[in-house]
Structure 1
Amino acid sequence: MANELYQYSIISALMDGVASHGTPIASVLAHGDHGLGTFRSMDGEMIVLDGAVFQMKSDGSIIPITDPAETITPFATVTRFQPTERTRATVTSKQDLAALLNRLFPAARNHFLAIRLDGVFKSINVRTAGGQCFPREGMVAVAERQTTHTFHGVRGTVVGFRCPDWTMGVNVAGDHMHFISEDRQRGGHILALETEGEVEVGVAMMSKFHVDLPEGDDEFNEAALVKDEKGIHAVEG
């Protein structure tokens, strides 16, 4: 069904370094064509755009995933995206985008939103994670080695989700978005953005949420999974 949120594992597991195993990306794609995630050992950022999957690595390269049945993700969130609201808007910041989403969906405080922006970005600042140095290394430590890039005057697509506050620790509460350029050469987890004039904005509210937890995974079974709200904000902000 369209606009139902599917998630594999939870963000608190990544915070605890649960990333050595996971599920084939193909099994995630069975649930959606629009989404975010990461790869085994937190090696880079994942973006799912129109059913295609890309790995955005810390060295700035982007790799299309051509073997989703053989590529593992320890955490991913997807939906079959069909926007129920479309508009054109000039967006000056992440805060400005948040205000636009509030205006479009004033009754969605405790629901999920799927988000897509297409157009030219005057400035977009992203980060990419370089991956774990050893098994069970936590996400905060991994993020300390992240690489940041700023792109100017680049055409591309933003894919993301807004998750309600009650999901913090299960997912990332708030607006969580990744970017990929139209030429598929640049991208990452969005830290800041500003559009070059108006861009196309598509959004859908979601009220159905399905989570699959890892099975037979000692890292997951032994993880404390204590909600670290401060740490999640630090690495996903």
Structure 2
Amino acid sequence: MTQNEVFQYSTMSALMAGIASHGAAISSVLEHGDHGLGTFRNLDGEMIVLDGAVYQMKSDGSVVAIESPADVITPFATVTRFKATANAKTAVGSKEDLLDLLSRLFPSARNHFVAIRIDGVFKSVNVRTAGGQQSPRESATGVANRQKVNTFRSVRGTVFGFRAPDYFMGINVAGIHIHFISDDRKEGGHILALESEGEVDVAAAQLSKFHLELPTGDDDFNEAELAPDAKGIAAVEG
């Protein structure tokens, strides 16, 4: 894949239905992108991909660098070969502020994906981390009921993720979906809320090509009755 194209493995509807026992080797996903996010087999934590490196942020608060991506499975991931086409140095007070900023940077991208990376110091970052399924096909909603929520304060780190158009709900997460990891690689998770400490460096790119790979040879995926669950996705993904 060339720069600034989206590659995705599986769908958010499948993840919501608990289709997470199998998946793709992370190494195969990395063939398509060097920045991204996702999760791990059995919904065991949050994934962030930065500059080709993969990190697993777990519910116990630990962060694990994935040193052998060929040996680790993801049931859902979205990646891109990220190259910024727009930059800004600005304060970000909330996820809503971030959405407004992206609309200003890309006024003609309402119905396109946008990838975003933010580097800097954050006054606060509120995150959650999935703790994993307790049984096969347990729904993402059930897992979310046990999720761990943390707030990091005055922390330097990186945010990466995507803003997806509304019509992608169920395939991906409509709206903004972003993950955070600290510079020391010891803290992170799926962002529920954030506020920068002064100005941060924002880099973003509009994405117009989307590639979707669906699971094959997976009975759970084949047997699932998949349908968009906008309310459930919004509750789980915050």
- TM-score where L is the length of structure 2: 0.99
Identity level (%)? 68
Letter of the aligned partner of 1:177 in structure 2?
I
- CA-CA distance at 1:17 after TM superposition: 0.5
Aligned equivalents of 2:159, 2:52: Cα separation in 1: 14
Deviation track 1:44-69 (CA, whole Å, cap 9, x = no partner) reads 00000110000000000000000100
Distance across 1 between alignment mates of 2:51 and 2:4? 14
Q: Which residue of 1 aligns with 2:30?
A: 29
Q: Which amino acid aligns with 2:72?
A: T
User: What's 2:46 paired with?
Assistant: 45
RMSD between aligned alpha carbons?
Answer: 0.4
Q: CA deviation at 1:172?
A: 0.2
TM-score (norm 1): 1.00
Residue matched to 1:206: 207
Amino acid paired to 1:145: R
Q: 2: CA distance between counterparts of 1:92 and 1:174?
A: 17
User: What's 2:103 paired with?
Assistant: 102
Alpha-carbon distance between aligned partners in 1 of 2:75 and 2:86, rounded to the nearest angstrom:
31
Alignment correspondent of 1:71: 72
How far does the alpha carbon of each residue in 1:72-126 deviate from its partner, in whole angstroms, 9 at most, with x for none?
0000000000000011010111111111111111111100000000000001100
CA distance in 1 between partners of 2:123 and 2:165 (Å): 29
The Cα of 1:187 is off from its aligned counterpart by: 0.2
AA matched with 2:83: Q
Q: Deviations over 1:129-157 (max 9, x none)?
A: 00000000000000000000001100000
Q: Are 2:131 and 1:130 equivalent residues in the alignment?
A: yes
Q: What is the count of residue pairs matched by the alignment?
A: 237
Output the amino acid matched with 1:222: E
The residue that corresponds to 1:142 in the other structure is: 143
SS of match in other structure, 1:169: coil
Q: Give the 3-state SS of the residue equivalent to 1:14 in structure 2.
A: helix
1: CA distance, partners of 2:65 / 2:176: 25
SS at match of 2:71: coil
Partner amino acid, structure 1, of 2:73: I
Residue in structure 1 matched with residue 187 of structure 2 by the alignment = 186
Partner of residue 233, structure 1: 234
Aligned residue identity for 2:153: H
SS in 2 for 1:69: helix
Name 2:161's counterpart in structure 1.
160
* Shift >4 Å, 4+ stretches: none
Say which SS state the counterpart of residue 109 (structure 1) adopts: coil
Q: Structure 2: how far apart are the matches of 1:178 and 1:100?
A: 18
- Once the two structures are TM-superposed, the CA of residue 226 in structure 1 deviates from its matched residue by 1.2
Structure 1 Cα separation of the partners of residues 147 and 160 of structure 2: 20
2:224 maps to a residue whose letter is A
Distance in 2 between residues matched to 1:94 and 1:170, nearest whole Å: 21
Task: Measure the CA separation in 2 of the matches of 1:111 and 1:93.
Answer: 21
